[in-house]
Amino acid sequence: MVQYTTAARGGVELDIAIENIQLVNVFTGEIYPAAIGMKGEKIAHVTQPGVTELAAAKRVDGKQQYAIPGLIDTHVHMESSMLTPEAYAKAVLPQGTTTVVTDPHEIGNVLGERGIRYMIEASRELDLRVLTFLPSCVPSAPAVETSGDDFTPEKVRELLKMDGIDGLAEVMNYYGVIHEDPRMTGILAESRQAGMLAQGHAPTVSDRELSAYLMAGVDSDHESRTGDEALEKVRAGMWLEIRESSFAHNAAPIAEKIRHLGYMPNICLCSDDVKANHLLTPGHMNHVARTLIKNGIDPITAIRFGTINAANRLRRSDIGAIAPGRDADVALVNDLENMTVTATWARGKLVGSEGICVRSQPRINPPEDFFNTVKVEKIVPEDFHIGIGDGAEKASVRVIEYDYAPGIPTNFFETTLPVENGLLKIGAYEGRKAPLNVIGVFHRHGKNTNRTLGVLAGYGITDGAVATTVAHDSHHLAVLGVDPGDMAIAANHLRDRQGGMVAVKNGEVIAELALPVAGLMSQKSADELAPLIETFVERIQETIMPGLNPIHRLIAVTLPVIPKAKISDQGLVDVDEQRLVSLITEVYPY
């Protein structure tokens, strides 16, 4: 047994001393010269201010760099990196991240309990501390979509007993929580009964509805996109998880609104969804903190948000600070403004140095059937024709508009389009955010044969088609485009390849990103996958889908818990009311 107390009082030799550092004390907000002593996995001693040397078996010169606690990501979906857990750990450990709270609802919506068990087992022996919260919403919006499994309250009760489950993940069906839907009320009751922390998801929820959400027992949110929304939630006592992801850049507008308030105890940081290429550059939790700092948040405050506040939120006294008795999770940062991490220790082991993971991470290969999850029949061009019927001259159609307003990524508008030979002609549209695109969503989990069509504005596909099996959160096969022939080719290509993303133009595949594990992840390392992601994005931007963030446009249109307009395998979704609405609102005969 490691002699922690004996080492703390000096009775046995320390294993490692990190000397000559500037300690960022997250309890007091001070920075002062010190040294850190480790024994086994724990911090045994931290010297008094000004004492920078400490006897130990191994002494490391910190070169007067800043020593901060290991950073904590309070909400992430590892699958969104497109990496398996081992590759993910290798990417984030050198960035100073030592703990993540992961919600495996991406793979849970595809493979159910087996997918979650795989993620737990693949994470168990990593140097990265992975706290797995059980998905609360499989599917995310059961009234309007179907997924690969169905986590009822009864099933949640049993799954919460699973070895390796540390809490209940984001309660995405905020409408069901606020309006006391029996399913969501039951799931929250099971979480309370099990003594589990429940995480929230409450985009645009405000005023009396916010009070109802909090009264239901869900007290955190990572979906605030504006400073006003964030401040309202902090004022209400909610845990605000400031997010900076590949798809949602929330840190700057929130920082602008709260920077005059200084340190607040109920703010922490998260990444949510960050692709492999962005984990490498600009980084992980160090990037979230850096963004806050560059937008006026004091560096010590930003670090406290990402360390001790996060530990307090998670009810953990073993992480989040550099102090005796805490786990020896330490990062060295050469300057606090840029948050460039030069070395990381996780539970007393040096795991990252100069941006490189210096310890191998154990890899567990997925079961064979995880590579066979795209279960759809062959798709033909006619599957993308929007039929109106004979005798119609024109029709009014409900369109999903992208980038509608701050805090409201999508909304519906209606327009009237001509009908030719019984088919809607979307190419005739010349209004705002033209051209229109067609989207087809095909249930791919073998539960049913659902197929739905929609019309999009602002998605920016000018030619051909793009298809993806990453389509949050039920992850059906989604195909977006303007040419039915190319759309069919793209869909069948992913059907044959069993997952990923593909772009087609003039009948030819012009770009592809293979994601064979559950149609969500690659088995490549971040260094290998990052350039493939970047090449795919650059290729589609320069050929058929110009504009920023094309992957976000592809994967989020099917997410029926982000306001206000989405499409699922069952149809168009009014997110605020959690109901299906019609695509065609009126038909005008000749």
pLDDT tens-digit series, residues 316-333: 999 999 999 999 999 999
Host domain of residue 458: 370-589
Q: With 60 as the cut, is the pLDDT of residue 230 above it?
A: yes
440 in the same domain as 577: yes
- Amino acid 1: pLDDT: 55
Which of 492, 462, 458 is closest to 477 using CA atoms?
492
397 in the same domain as 499: yes
Residue 76 backbone class (left: φ over 0; alpha: ψ -120 to 50; beta: rest): beta
CB 359 within 8 A of CB 370: no
Please report whether residue 304 resides in a domain. no
Write down the number of H helices and E strands in the chain.
16, 30
- Amino acid 424: pLDDT: 96
Please report whether residue 342 resides in a domain. no
Domain's final residue, options 64, 92, 113: 64
Question: What is the total count of domains within the chain?
Answer: 3
Please report whether residue 29 resides in a domain. yes
8 in the same domain as 89: no
What is the pLDDT confidence band of residue 404, given thresholds at 50, 70 and 90?
A: confident
382 in the same domain as 263: no
108 in the same domain as 24: no
Please report whether residue 25 resides in a domain. yes
Domain's final residue, options 46, 64, 82: 64
Domain's final residue, options 39, 64, 89: 64
Over range 23-41, report the average pLDDT: 98
Please report whether residue 528 resides in a domain. yes
145 in the same domain as 43: no
Over range 194-206, report the average pLDDT: 97
Omega before residue 546 within 30° of 0, cis: no
Whole-angstrom distance, CA of residue 370 vs CA of residue 386: 33
Please report whether residue 338 resides in a domain. no
Q: Count the Cβ atoms, other than its own, within 10 Å of residue 51.
A: 13
Q: With 80 as the cut, is the pLDDT of residue 2 above it?
A: no
The pLDDT tens digits for 42-56 are 999 999 999 999 999
Say which CATH number the domain at 101 has.
3.20.20.140
The pLDDT tens digits for 156-188 are 999 999 999 999 999 999 999 999 999 999 999
- Amino acid 405: pLDDT: 84
CB 447 within 8 A of CB 458: no
146 in the same domain as 286: yes
Please report whether residue 80 resides in a domain. yes
55 in the same domain as 78: no
- Amino acid 348: pLDDT: 98
What is the model's pTM?
0.97
Please report whether residue 124 resides in a domain. yes
- Report the mean per-residue pLDDT for the chain: 97
- Amino acid 390: pLDDT: 87
The pLDDT tens digits for 257-316 are 999 999 999 999 999 999 999 999 999 999 999 999 999 999 999 999 999 999 999 999
577 in the same domain as 508: yes
143 in the same domain as 51: no
The pLDDT tens digits for 288-297 are 999 999 999 9
User: Can you tell me which residue has the tokens 């038909």?
Assistant: 587
Share of the chain above pLDDT 90, in %: 97
Question: What tokens appear for 293 in the block?
Answer: 């700092």
DSSP 245-298: -SS-B-HHHHHHHHGGG---TTEEEE-BS--HHHHHTT-SHHHHHHHHHHTT--
Say which CATH number the domain at 13 has.
2.30.40.10
48 in the same domain as 111: no
